[in-house]
């Protein structure tokens, strides 16, 4: 940049200077010296090849000699300068630096709380979609340029700033807003354990108050992450194994969980699944997933036969294995598939999993089938085999993280619900399905504070009490009930499951609410609007504003 400017300046100044020094002739033949004004004017149009002619008088031959020289010098230095500037503008690194600067400025200027998601693979994209659909802001770091470009194609509800960079490097995390005061959480969902570990460590060191959520596939890495205080570590295989165990013990709770955790609005409510407890199960593939499920099934007291093609790499359970891939009939027969009650197709290859399912169905049509889906592109073919349960690691992680970020109270709810029996869960399931019809229920958390429940705080401040039953009345017709269920109430770290209508509300309480269409909107009216709150509580409206109050007092 400096070189071409300098060249132009030098060429111009020499051309101008010499023009003022060479004697010329005016019309009457007198000697005159060109002044700086005319010299600058002449050189300006000469060097840019505009060429208005010889001014202010016709040149002498001596002047023309100099003009020939400076003409070429001027044009060449212009070409050189323009060429250099164009190359600079087209330069890849320069453009990259420019776009990165622009992005960093945008991220620094964020005025809303946002989450930092590292990795836009299968999990990352599902998570980002879920979060933006919920109205939350996200920033993404992705190391592969083409996957980062997918963000623009993916049709997200909100603009998602994305940085092309290696999230392992602290510099890139900082550029993406790790130390921004509004950055709420860092989510590490790259497909490499070590990278997730490094991200978690960097985030905890540079911004200790921040929430860090990590994906991890091995127990070794999980322990390491836990050692420096990573807030949540998500292992998709353990998560699925736990939910399988729930399905064994409390089928309704499993169904409830799958409803509440799902982000997809288009899905219809499904039926509970009842994994069979008689006879034995066949697991194909003894990798990380196979091991996690195996341990759970053994804990449930099942008999399990494992099929594995490469036991030297995966190890094998104490009972021994059936050697083979599980895609051929003879291996499955060796595992006694005809007498089995369930099959888990759990290898890391979708085609093999499907082939197993089809072959096994031919041998035993009554099998309960769990299939592992590795790539979301294969959804249509996986759906077509109608498995009883599908284990899709990316979706499991994305759903779990979305809940952790959006409605963390749901976690406490589920862990408390474990202590209830199946009937309790079944009753809640039927209440919810009555509430929402055939759609997925929606969840939200409400804190009783000035921001989210102004009217309630005002009433509580006057020393009066507000009961849950008051809030659950319809703001237009108080005899009707609102379409919402208060799942849990948190009061000074005490959790109350499905609180009764007489429960009193205190300031600072947090409510976990499940509602169907329009439920939240009406609930917010009750919480925020003085007159409406007074109507749903007492059936009368007290406050009318200054003028009406005066008039009312007079008429009394």
Partner 1 sequence: MNPEKVVFGFFIVLALTLNFGFFVGDLDNPDHHHVYELFAVVIVNLIATILKLGDRSQMGAVLLATSLVAILQLIAAALVWTAAEHITGTGLTPTVTASIVSLSGGAMLANVISVILLIIETVMLRR
In angstroms, rounded to a whole number, what is the distance separating the alpha carbons of residues 279 and 250?
Answer: 20
- For residues 10 and 76, which CB has a smaller minimum distance to partner 1 in the complex? 10
- Tell whether the torsion through CA atoms of 239, 240, 241 and 244 is positive or negative: positive
Q: Which is nearer to partner 1, 1 or 547 (CB)?
A: 1
- Euclidean distance between CA atoms 337 and 290, whole angstroms: 17
Question: Alpha-carbon distance 526 to 531, whole Å?
Answer: 9
322 phi/psi in degrees, rounded to 5: -95, 125
- Choose, by CB under 8 A, the member of 6, 88, 351, 551 that binds partner 1: 6
Beta-bridge partners for 342: 281, 368
Shorter beta-carbon distance to partner 1: residue 36 or 418: 36
Rg (CA), the chain: 36
Subset of residues 440 to 479 that bind partner 1, contact rule: CB under 8 A: none
| Least CB distance to partner 1 at residue 110 (A) | 26
Give whichever of 81 and 304 is closer to partner 1, judged by the CB atom.
Answer: 81
Region of 2-10, 193-201, 234-242, 543-551 interacting with partner 1 (CB under 8 A): 2-10
Sheet of 211-215, strands arranged across: 162-164, 137-142, 114-118, 183-188, 211-215, 232-234
Least CB distance to partner 1 at residue 39 (A) = 9
Q: Would you say 44 or 376 has its CB closer to partner 1?
A: 44
Closest listed residue to residue 374, CA positions, set 387, 393, 389, 400? 393
* Residue 9 main-chain phi, psi, to 5 deg: -60, -45
CB of 31 to partner 1, least distance (A): 18
CA distance 152 to 150: 5
Contact 410/515 with Cβ under 8 angstroms? no
Torsion-angle region of residue 375: left (phi > 0), alpha (psi -120 to 50) or beta? beta
Q: Is the bond preceding residue 526 a cis peptide, omega within 30 degrees?
A: no
Total number of residues binding partner 1 (CB under 8 A)? Answer: 13
Site for partner 1 in 472-511 (CB under 8 A): none
Nearer to partner 1, 171 or 451 (CB): 171
The dihedral over CA atoms of 413, 416, 420, 423, expressed in degrees to the nearest 10, equals 10
Report the nearest approach of partner 1 to the CB of residue 475 (Å).
Answer: 60
Which residue number, 36 or 274, has a Cβ lying nearer to partner 1? 36
Q: How far is the CB of 531 from partner 1 (least distance, A)?
A: 59
> Can you tell me the distance from the alpha carbon of 156 to that of 141, in angstroms, rounded to the nearest whole number?
16
Least CB distance from residue 21 to partner 1, whole Å? 9
Shortest distance, position 38 Cβ to partner 1, whole Å:
8
Least separation in angstroms between residue 94's CB and partner 1 is 13
- Residue 252 CA to residue 417 CA, distance in Å, equals 11
Tell which residue, 46, 87, 86, 91, has the closest CA to residue 69. Answer: 46
Question: Considering the rule CB under 8 A, would residue 91 count as an interface residue with partner 1?
Answer: no
Pick one of 5, 55, 88, 329: the residue that binds partner 1 (CB under 8 A).
5
Which of 1, 31, 50, 318 touches partner 1 (CB under 8 A)? 1
Only segment of 4-12, 64-72, 126-134, 407-415 that touches partner 1 (CB under 8 A) = 4-12
Closer to partner 1 at the Cβ: 65 or 88? 88
Number of residues written out for the chain: 556
Of 42 and 120, nearer to partner 1 (C-beta) is 42
Angle between helices 251-261 and 393-406 (to 10 degrees): 70
Closest to partner 1 by CB, 4 vs 177, is 4
C-alpha to C-alpha distance for 38 and 28, rounded to whole angstroms: 19
Give whichever of 38 and 454 is closer to partner 1, judged by the CB atom. Answer: 38
137-196 residues near partner 1, rule: CB under 8 A? none
Shortest distance (Å) from residue 56 CB to partner 1: 10
Stretch that binds partner 1, among 5-13, 226-234, 439-447, 489-497 (CB under 8 A): 5-13
Which stretches within 250-392 are classed as H helix?
Answer: 251-261, 288-299, 311-314, 329-334, 350-363, 379-384
Minimum CB–partner distance for residue 178 and partner 1 (Å): 24
- The H-or-E segment that residue 43 falls in is helix 36-47
**Which one of residues 2, 92, 451, 553 is an interface residue with partner 1 (CB under 8 A)?**
2
Nearer to partner 1, 66 or 424 (CB): 66
- Tell me if 372 sits within 8 A of 396, measured CB to CB: no
Q: Nearest distance from residue 28's CB to partner 1, in Å?
A: 20
In the complex, the smallest distance separating the C-beta of residue 9 from partner 1, rounded to whole angstroms, is 5
Cβ-based nearer residue to partner 1, 32 or 274: 32
Minimum separation from the CB atom of position 33 to partner 1 (A):
11
Q: Which of residues 7-46 bind partner 1 (CB under 8 A)?
A: 9-10, 13, 16-17, 20, 35-37
Q: Is 449 helix (H, G, I), strand (E, B) or coil?
A: coil
Catalog residues that contact partner 1 under the rule CB under 8 A: 1-2, 5-6, 9-10, 13, 16-17, 20, 35-37
């Amino acid at each position: 940049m400096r070189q071409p400017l300098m060249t132009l300046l030098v060429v111009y100044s020499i051309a101008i200077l010499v023009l003022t020094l060479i004697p010329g002739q005016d019309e009457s033949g007198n000697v005159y010296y060109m002044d700086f004004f005319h010299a600058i004017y002449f050189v300006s149009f000469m060097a840019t090849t505009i060429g208005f002619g010889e001014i202010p008088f016709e040149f002498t031959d001596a002047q023309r000699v100099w003009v020939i020289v400076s003409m070429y010098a001027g044009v060449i230095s212009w070409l050189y300068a323009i060429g250099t500037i164009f190359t600079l503008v087209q330069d890849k690194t320069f453009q990259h630096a420019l776009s990165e600067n622009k992005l960093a400025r945008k991220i620094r200027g964020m005025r809303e709380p946002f989450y930092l998601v590292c990795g836009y693979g299968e999990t990352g994209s599902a998570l980002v979609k879920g979060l933006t659909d919920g109205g939350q802001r996200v920033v993404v770091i992705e190391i592969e340029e083409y996957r980062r470009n997918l963000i623009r194609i993916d049709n997200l509800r909100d603009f998602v700033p994305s940085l092309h960079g290696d999230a392992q490097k602290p510099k890139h995390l900082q550029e993406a807003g790790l130390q921004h005061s509004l950055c709420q959480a860092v989510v590490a969902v790259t497909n490499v354990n070590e990278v997730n570990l490094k991200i978690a460590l960097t985030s905890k060191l540079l911004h200790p108050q921040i929430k860090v959520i990590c994906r991890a596939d091995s127990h070794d890495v999980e322990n390491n992450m836990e050692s420096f205080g990573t807030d949540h570590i998500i292992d998709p295989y353990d998560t699925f194994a736990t939910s399988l165990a729930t399905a064994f013990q409390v089928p309704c709770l499993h169904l409830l969980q799958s409803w509440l955790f799902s982000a997809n609005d288009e899905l219809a409510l499904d039926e509970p699944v009842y994994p069979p407890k008689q006879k034995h199960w066949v697991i194909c593939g003894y990798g990380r997933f196979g091991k996690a499920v195996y341990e759970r099934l053994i804990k449930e007291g099942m008999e399990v036969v494992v099929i594995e093609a490469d036991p030297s790499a995966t190890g094998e359970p104490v009972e021994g294995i059936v050697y083979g891939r599980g895609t051929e009939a003879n291996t499955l027969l060796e595992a006694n598939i005809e007498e089995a009650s369930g099959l888990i197709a759990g290898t890391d290859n979708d085609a093999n999993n499907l082939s197993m399912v089809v072959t096994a169905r031919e041998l035993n049509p009554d099998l309960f089938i769990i299939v592992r889906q590795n790539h979301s592109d294969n959804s249509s073919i996986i759906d077509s085999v109608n498995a009883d349960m599908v284990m899709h690691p990316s979706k499991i992680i994305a759903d779990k993280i979305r809940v952790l970020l959006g409605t963390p109270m749901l976690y406490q709810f589920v862990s408390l619900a474990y202590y209830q029996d199946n009937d309790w869960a079944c009753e809640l399931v039927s209440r919810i399905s009555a509430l929402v019809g055939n759609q997925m229920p929606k969840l939200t958390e409400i804190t009783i504070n000035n921001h989210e429940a102004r009217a309630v705080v005002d009433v509580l401040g006057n020393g009066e009490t507000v009961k849950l039953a008051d809030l659950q009345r319809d703001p237009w017709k108080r005899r009707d009930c609102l379409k919402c269920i208060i799942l849990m109430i948190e009061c000074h770290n005490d959790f109350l499951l499905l609180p009764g209508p007489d429960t009193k509300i205190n300031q600072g309480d947090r409510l976990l609410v499940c509602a169907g269409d329009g439920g939240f909107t009406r609930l917010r009216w009750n919480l925020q609007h003085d007159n409406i709150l007074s109507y749903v509580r007492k059936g009368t409206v007290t406050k009318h504003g200054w003028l009406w109050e005066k008039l009312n007092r007079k008429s009394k």
